[in-house]
Amino acid sequence: MAVARNEVRTAAATIGFRLLDQTRLATVASELARNVVKYGVRGQLIVQPTHESDGREGLRLIFEDTGPGIPNIEHAMRDGFSTGRGLGKGLPGSKRLVHEFKIESEVGRGTRVTIVRWI
């Protein structure tokens, strides 16, 4: 997780994100990587510099795990909902820190969370 945070912060800095956005992205990486480590039997984080058609640059992060999956995404996205020892802030909180947030999950197969933050 510490690795994920550093990796993401470095990537964000390279693209030219200001300090506040670097912090936001590193925090999101920490929250979502924790889910991967906690629930995923095997997981990965893909760090992808990206840009829109108008040339605006951004960073896309994809968190994939082969964990139990999320039966009810709507519940999982609610503030304060938690299955573990967390505060239930991880998913909904992370969504507030980025511009795009997509979560796909299949029970028994795994979960993929994709986020983008634009500069």
Using rule CB under 8 A, residue 92 touches other proteins: yes
Site string for other proteins, 40-79 (x = CB under 8 A): ---------------------------------------x
How many of the other CB atoms lie within 10 Å of CB of 23? Answer: 14
Which residue stretch of 45-53, 62-70, 92-100, 110-118 sits at the interface with other proteins (rule: CB under 8 A)? 92-100
Using rule CB under 8 A, residue 13 touches other proteins: no
Tokens of 96: 């507030």
Q: Which is nearer to other proteins, 60 or 95 (CB)?
A: 95
How many of the other CB atoms lie within 10 Å of CB of 20? Answer: 8
Number of residues that bind other proteins (CB under 8 A): 25
Instruction: Pick the closest to residue 32 from 72, 80, 77 (CA basis).
Output: 77
Distance CA 52, CA 13 (A): 18
Using rule CB under 8 A, residue 96 touches other proteins: yes
Q: Which of 59, 76, 94, 111 binds other proteins (CB under 8 A)?
A: 94
Q: What angle do CA 53, 55, 59 make, to 5 degrees?
A: 95
Instruction: Pick the closest to residue 76 from 99, 62, 95, 98 (CA basis).
Output: 95
Contact residues: other proteins, CB under 8 A: 1-2, 5-6, 9, 19-20, 22-24, 26-27, 30-31, 34, 79, 86-87, 89-90, 92-94, 96-97
